[in-house]
Amino acid sequence: MKPLKLAVAALLLAVLSGCASTLPRNTLADWQASPNFQPRRARVIVLHHTAMDNAQAALHVLQTENSGGPVSSHYLIGDDGHLYQLVSEQSRAWHAGGSRWAGISDLNSYSIGIELDNNGHEPFSEAQLQSLLVLLEDIVERNGIQPHLVVGHGDIAPTKKDDPSVLFPWRRLAEAGFGLWPRDVRAAPPPGFDPWAAMRLVGYDLREPSVALAAFHRHFRGSEETTWLPGDAEILYDLQLQLMELPATAPQPPP
């Protein structure tokens, strides 16, 4: 039996070597492999609602396509809290589309997408939120993502999307350490404070200011008003201060 085992081991080694040799390489260059690399890591987490009736219907769309073509996300969380993974975190899922956040224009390449089983007009369930918080803690720790970089699809694509809806409890996420939220005690902004500049610092794309403002209100005010509201400047000044207090780089995940 020992010779047979050795033969099987040799065959497996040959197969694995063959698989390794199929990785993309530039034929113009002399391949001299280095072990000093790691898979690309996402830097932003984007939350969505499915705008569908149930998780099974959403799974079908995420595994096939919708009217606009193929779509996917890395995770889907059912209303009952059940967690599904559809795409590896190391791969580029198709969930963000044409979007922009903090100067990044290809969010599909730099983010992890999480779909929440919700039709957009109902509260998010406790079981779902508990599952989301566990998942966020896991993703942030493993990938070294700065915890405040948890945003909504409507934040990164305000001209096209509004998810998750005004009913999403962003404050609760922030209390658990994810996302950005204004503190209860806020200082008055100084003379000359520019709220638009603060919105840009938070991450919003201001090419269409009114829809960006609606996205800001959806996230931080539970409204979709397209003009400034009383208290907006105080909120944005506080968010600006929080961002300025953050470390310059994200903590690195363990090897």
Provide the annotated active-site residues. Answer: 115
- First and final C-alpha spacing in the chain: 39
